[in-house]
Amino acid sequence: MANTCSFFFLTRASKSENFISFPVCRSDTACWSLPIKMLSSLMSYSPSVDSKTENPDELIATGVLASLQNFIRKCIVAVLSYGPMPKHIAFIMDGNRRYAKFRSIQEGSGHRVGFSALIASLLYCYEMGVKYITVYAFSIDNFKRDPTEVKSLMELMEEKINELLENRNVINKVNCKINFWGNLDMLSEPVRVAAEKLMASTAENTGLVFSVCMPYNSTSEIVNAVNKVCAERRDILQREDADSVANNGVHSDISVPDLDRHMYSAGCPDPDIVIRTSGETRLSNFLLWQTTFSHLQNPDPLWPEFSFKHLVWAILQYQRVHPYIEQSRNMAKKQL
């Protein structure tokens, strides 16, 4: 079975000199037919996820063949972990509406399938040892869409948040801490209350940190941070003697660390990888402050189609450019 994993990484990563090519038996084609078929099945496998499933392992796969697929997947993850692994992956979940349109299914169904893809990706990232996952779930600009669609999305958000509150299999499996980044006051009251309950109920968890950006855009986040720093300075000035402040020269300038402390992302490392599905190459006002040295990727699949094979390929691409990213980051630190 180890040879099966080696075959995958030889074929996928041989273009990069940073990877080791494992020996592969070429003398007996028949001996490779079954492993190759199993790998093809695994890499095209996109599980149907039900957050109500009693056994969390069933969220990834079920049945005898699925157990074999899970084993092969874990072998692939083990080999992958020999390279530099990302600590933080951010997703722009693009393509839910197009998925529904292309398949002529009911409007809104694409977002439901997208939620299944999200839970599966969370579990895959957990298996890979990725500590932080951030998703762009709802932009402030999305409020400009048709009111009926916005109402439907709000109802779906409330439904899925309440599902996570009522059935904690996924949360307990990864000991997940859930954050909501954005202006929660813009949400309908039921959604806001549900989001606050979910954050409070997972606040002490120490496993995977899952941050949901809704309703969010980066411009709003930066403005919010500046306003908080200014309010903080006003409070300090009111408490201290004005002459003492002037003489000491403190509290006069706003620094980058000051803003970092008041970003929604305070306490989380910057994303190593930003993945926007559907082939789009725009950040759409997402984490502009935090993505200076992130590896930006735009795979073609729509978000509901995003699967394990796409995640593996994204990490391989990141590992290939990792030395350059680290060099750029270190040079920036020296210039500060």
Dist. CA 162–CA 156, nearest whole Å: 10
pTM: 0.81
Full set of structural domains in the chain with CATH: 86-216+271-277+285-335 (3.40.1180.10), 218-241+253-263 (no CATH)
Q: What is the pLDDT of residue 233?
A: 87
Extract the tokens encoding 125.
């990232």
**Residue in the block written with tokens 């599966």:** 120
User: Which of 94, 241, 253, 258 is flagged as catalytic?
Assistant: 94
Q: What is the pLDDT of residue 240?
A: 72
Distances (CA, A) of 144 to 140, 149, 161, 188, 309: 8, 10, 23, 15, 34
Question: What does 17-53 look like in DSSP terms, one character per residue?
Answer: TTSPPPP---S-THHHHHHHHHHHHHHT------TT-
Q: What is the pLDDT of residue 238?
A: 81
Q: Residue 279: how many CB atoms within 10 A of its CB?
A: 12
Q: Going by C-beta distance under 8 Å and a sequence separation of 6 or more, which residues neighbour residue 163?
A: 51, 52
256: enclosing H helix or E strand: helix 256-262
Q: What is the pLDDT of residue 24?
A: 39
**Residue in the block written with tokens 């899952």:** 210
Dist. CA 295–CA 321, nearest whole Å: 8
Active site residue 94: yes
Residue 260 burial (C-beta neighbours within 10 Å; 0-12, 13-18, 19+) = middle
pLDDT in 10s for each residue of the chain, 336 residues:
444 343 333 333 333 333 333 333 444 444 434 444 455 455 544 444 444 444 444 555 556 777 888 889 999 999 999 999 999 999 999 999 999 999 998 878 999 999 999 999 999 999 999 999 999 999 999 999 999 999 999 999 999 999 999 988 889 989 999 999 999 999 999 999 999 999 999 999 999 999 999 999 999 999 999 999 999 888 888 877 655 655 455 556 888 999 999 999 999 999 999 999 999 999 999 999 999 999 999 999 999 999 999 999 999 999 999 999 999 998 888 776
HSE toward the beta carbon, residue 237, CA cutoff 13 A:
13
- Across the strands, what pairs with 88? 132
**Residue in the block written with tokens 């660390």:** 257
Among candidate residues 268, 261, 260, 254, the one with its CA nearest the CA of residue 289:
260
Q: What is the pLDDT of residue 65?
A: 79
Q: What is the pLDDT of residue 49?
A: 45
Q: What is the pLDDT of residue 336?
A: 63
Dist. CA 205–CA 124, nearest whole Å: 19
If you count DSSP H runs as helices and E runs as strands, how many of each does the chain have, helices first? Answer: 12, 6
